[in-house]
């Protein structure tokens, strides 16, 4: 306790230096917390976009279709759907039929993946029907809804007809469908590629019935529920959560998290090195003073402990301030969509990434633990360098130093 | 859409009384009998001009085979249409490819015709027709797409000879009323009792200087073609 009081007093004897050190550590803690909160928020945004905009919270399909999304690998029968509808974890069910097609206007054409949907049921599993920027959502066969970017590229307007060509089971098929609505979700993956038609039209064009069953489940529970529902499904059919549907993008996301660890460690090491170097300078400056304290009876080992405590106190104060600043910032960014606007161009540049214009930071207590690495490293450095110097100090010699 | 029907079928007409009968008579000029011939396809662009020579075989219905014979770099390329299906033979790869829907947007030999135009459908099936003008020399039809018809156009106007119903001009309009493509038929020749256009010009009206001309020569009508002409094997070795 005496040593702690001594260390506390020493810390505040050089107020300006201490404040500087506290700021360095606080910045490190703040950066760590902000970084993880942002990274987790970004990941959550991608998963949300995949679950609610691009794919589905949970998608049930054949494993063959999951590996090769061709209507030939469509679901052979839908008898399992009743069991899913009765499951309390499933909030809504919608049938889908997706197929590759060519969409044509009078001026140009483009390859797309067309999604045939039941207009009423689809609204239960996807937010796309509620993001119609112009016109309206599908109501009946013969209609078409496009992402606004896709519609602009092929130059087709609401009320005009576009042609969908595809390879049906019995040969090429085509239909002229009237564009009734434009989707604007803020997600490039949807706005630039979405082509939605009535399930009846999709069936008439392809000759297939249903390629997948989309399920709505509780937010944040998508992947766990997908895994839990698998025992209810017949052989050859499986349920997939958003992470599994992301495919290669999932590996990128996980890679980003692992790649972040060295960066965060570097932050911590730089901050701890700043604390340590200042401690070393402080010890050198106080050599005579420390020699006197040692001469009056405080053993060098205990004196070394005082130096370590000084580093820990400084780091702890910085850590607490960093936590306050970091969590405070995350609290704001968890409510206000600051990041989404900032990363809008990122979504456009990496259009394969399902990302909306809404990115909210995530707050998690474990970030405080990550940020405490700075304090631990600072303490370790203090033991290794300035404390070691103090332990080796000869009091008589130290008192003679100018 | 329709001009390739001309490209792959060679034919004769009937005697019309109303708009649909006129349309049928015009269409019948594009189909009906078997035939073979040579087509010289000239693709003009503002900065260049490319000429292809092709041999064509048609059963007069929905089957046709086209083989490129010149220029040397493209010789051997072949296209087979059977119903709505289209296959392409690439001699450099020595492979036959069935065109997926995504490939149908590609331009046919860099011309103003896409592969989706090659798989054209019966115009009568997709459009309703009315006569907008008729004098002693020409008859003009207006074609409006039927609901759900797989056409991106808002309307078509068809001009034909008032006597023979040989096609003279097709103009394609977008759904905003702007003309986007014009196909002109000329240099008609007598085939039996009918008049067959041996020169077809396709113009992209949205891009000045973009024009494709097809000129028919060495044509023989009414010849019996073997079934083997319309198989995948014929893509590679031809139909002689």
> What confidence tens digit (pLDDT) does each residue in B28-47 have?
776 646 788 999 999 999 99
- Across A96-110, average pLDDT: 91
Cβ A104–B83 below 8 Å, yes or no?
no
Residue A15: partners with Cβ closer than 8 Å, 6 or more residues away: none
Task: Decide: A135 and B137 in contact? Cβ < 8 Å.
Answer: no
What are the contacts of A116-123 at 24+ separation with CB within 8 A?
A116/A196, A116/A197, A116/A198, A116/A199, A116/A200, A116/A201, A116/A202, A116/A203, A116/A206, A117/A196, A117/A197, A117/A198, A117/A199, A118/A94, A118/A199, A119/A198, A121/A92, A121/A93, A121/A94, A121/A95, A122/A94, A122/A96, A122/A196, A122/A214
How close, in Å, is residue A177 to chain B by CA atoms?
6
Tokens of B35: 């035939």
Residue B35 to residues A4, B46, B219, B220, Cα–Cα distance (Å): 105, 34, 7, 6
Q: Does A153 touch chain B (CB under 8 A)?
A: no
How close, in Å, is residue A192 to chain B by CA atoms?
17
Cβ B175–A160 below 8 Å, yes or no?
yes
How close, in Å, is residue A184 to chain B by CA atoms?
23
Query: How does DSSP classify residue A44?
Result: H
Q: Which of A146, A160, A174 to substitute to test the interface with B, most B CBs within 10 Å?
A: A174
Higher-confidence position of A336 and A210: A210
The most confident of the ranges A237-251, A372-386, B70-84, B120-134 is B70-84
Which residue of chain A is at minimal alpha-carbon distance from B155?
A106
- Across B127-143, average pLDDT: 92
Tally C-beta pairs within 8 A across A and B: 76
- Across A363-368, average pLDDT: 90
Q: Give yes or no for residue A141 having a pLDDT over 90.
A: yes
Q: Does A72 touch chain B (CB under 8 A)?
A: no
Burial zone of A16 (CB within 10 Å; 0-12 exposed, 13-18 middle, 19+ buried): exposed
Chain B residue numbers touching A177 (CB-CB < 8 A): 148
Q: Give yes or no for residue B15 having a pLDDT over 60.
A: no
Q: β-pairing, A195-198 with A109-117?
A: parallel
Q: Does B150 touch chain A (CB under 8 A)?
A: yes
Burial zone of A216 (CB within 10 Å; 0-12 exposed, 13-18 middle, 19+ buried): buried
Q: In the prediction, which pLDDT does B12 show?
A: 35
Confidence band, pLDDT 50/70/90 cuts, at residue B8: very low
Cβ A176–B119 below 8 Å, yes or no?
no
Report the DSSP beta bridge partners of residue A111. A102
Cβ A104–B100 below 8 Å, yes or no?
no
Residue A339 CA neighbour count, 13 Å, CB half? 25
Task: Decide: B4 and B84 in contact? Cβ < 8 Å.
Answer: no
What are the contacts of B197-204 at 24+ separation with CB within 8 A?
B197/B6, B197/B166, B197/B167, B197/B168, B200/B3, B200/B6, B200/B7, B202/B3, B202/B111, B202/B112, B202/B113, B203/B112, B204/B112, B204/B180
Out of B145, B149, B152, closest to residue A104 by CB: B152
Task: Decide: B13 and B39 in contact? Cβ < 8 Å.
Answer: no
The rounded distance, in Å, linking the Cα atoms of B187 and B203 is: 17
The rounded distance, in Å, linking the Cα atoms of B107 and B111 is: 6
How close, in Å, is residue A160 to chain B by CA atoms?
7
Q: Give yes or no for residue B118 having a pLDDT over 70.
A: no
A211 phi, psi to nearest 5 deg: -90, -25
Three-state SS at A116: strand
The most confident of the ranges A78-82, A164-168, A176-180 is A176-180
Tokens 């910085």 sit on residue? A318
CA B33 to chain centre: 15
Task: Decide: A253 and A6 in contact? Cβ < 8 Å.
Answer: no
Out of A100, A102, A172, closest to residue B84 by CB: A172
Q: Which of B150, B156, B174, B206 to substitute to test the interface with A, most A CBs within 10 Å?
A: B150
Higher-confidence position of B170 and B110: B170
Which tens digits make up the pLDDT trace of A71-98? 889 999 899 999 999 999 999 999 999 9
pTM: 0.75
Q: Which of A106, A168, A180 to substitute to test the interface with B, most B CBs within 10 Å?
A: A106
């Amino acid at each position: 306790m005496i040593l702690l009081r001594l260390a506390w007093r020493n810390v505040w004897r050089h107020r300006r230096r201490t404040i500087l050190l506290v700021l360095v550590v606080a910045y490190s803690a703040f950066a760590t917390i902000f970084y993880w909160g942002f990274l987790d928020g970004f990941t959550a945004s991608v998963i949300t976009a995949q679950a609610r905009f691009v794919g589905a919270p949970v998608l049930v399909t054949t494993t063959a279709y999951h590996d090769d999304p061709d209507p030939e690998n469509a679901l052979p029968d839908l008898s399992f759907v009743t069991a899913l509808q009765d499951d309390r974890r499933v909030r809504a069910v919608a049938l889908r039929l997706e197929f590759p097609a060519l969409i044509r206007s009078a001026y140009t054409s483009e390859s797309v993946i067309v999604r045939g949907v039941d207009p009423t049921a689809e609204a239960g599993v996807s937010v796309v029907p509620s993001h119609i920027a112009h016109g309206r959502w599908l109501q009946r066969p013969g209609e078409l809804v496009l992402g606004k970017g896709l519609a602009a590229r092929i130059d087709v307007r609401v009320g005009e007809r576009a042609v969908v060509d595809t390879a049906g089971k019995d040969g090429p098929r085509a239909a002229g469908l009237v564009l009734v609505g434009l989707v604007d979700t803020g997600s490039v993956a949807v706005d630039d590629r979405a082509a939605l038609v009535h399930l009846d039209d999709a069936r008439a064009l392809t000759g297939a019935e249903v390629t997948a069953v989309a399920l709505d489940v509780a937010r944040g529970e998508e992947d766990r529920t997908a895994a839990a529902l698998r025992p209810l499904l017949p052989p050859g059919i499986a349920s997939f959560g958003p992470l599994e549907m992301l495919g290669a993008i999932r590996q990128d996301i996980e890679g980003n998290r692992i790649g972040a660890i060295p960066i965060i460690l570097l932050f911590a090491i730089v901050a701890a090195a700043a604390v340590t170097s200042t401690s070393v300078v402080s010890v050198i400056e106080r050599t005579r003073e420390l020699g006197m304290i040692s001469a009056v009876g405080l053993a060098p080992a205990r004196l070394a402990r005082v130096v370590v405590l000084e580093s820990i106190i400084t780091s702890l104060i910085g850590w607490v301030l960093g936590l306050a600043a970091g969590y405070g910032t995350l609290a704001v960014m968890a409510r206000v969509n600051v990041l989404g606007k900032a990363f809008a161009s990122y979504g456009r540049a990496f259009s394969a990434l399902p990302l909306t214009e809404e990115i909210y930071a995530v707050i998690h207590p474990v970030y405080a633990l990550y940020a405490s690495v700075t304090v631990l490293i600072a303490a370790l450095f203090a033991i290794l360098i300035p404390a070691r110097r103090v332990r080796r100090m000869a009091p008589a010699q130290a008192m003679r130093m100018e | 859409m329709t001009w390739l029907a001309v490209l792959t079928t060679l034919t004769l007409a009937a005697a019309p009384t109303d708009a649909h009968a006129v349309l049928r008579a015009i269409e019948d000029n594009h189909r009906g009998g078997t035939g073979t011939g040579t087509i010289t396809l000239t693709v003009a662009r503002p900065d260049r001009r490319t000429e292809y020579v092709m041999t064509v075989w048609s059963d007069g219905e929905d089957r046709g085979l086209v083989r490129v014979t010149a220029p040397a770099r493209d010789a051997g390329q072949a296209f087979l249409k059977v119903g709505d299906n289209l296959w392409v033979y690439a001699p450099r790869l020595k492979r036959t490819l069935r065109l997926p829907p995504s490939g149908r947007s590609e331009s046919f030999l860099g011309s103003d015709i896409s592969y989706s135009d090659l798989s054209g459908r019966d115009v009568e099936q997709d459009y309703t027709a009315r006569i907008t003008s008729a004098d002693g020399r020409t008859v003009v039809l207006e074609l409006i797409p039927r609901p759900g018809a797989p056409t991106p156009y808002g309307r078509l106007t068809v001009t034909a000879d008032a006597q023979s119903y040989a096609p003279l001009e097709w103009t394609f309009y977008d759904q905003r009323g702007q003309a986007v493509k014009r196909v002109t038929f000329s240099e008609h020749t007598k085939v039996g009792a009918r008049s067959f256009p041996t020169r077809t010009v396709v113009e992209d009206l949205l891009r000045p200087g973009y024009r494709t001309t097809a000129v028919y020569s060495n044509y023989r009508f009414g010849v019996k073609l073997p079934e083997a002409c319309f198989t995948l094997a014929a893509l590679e070795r031809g139909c002689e």
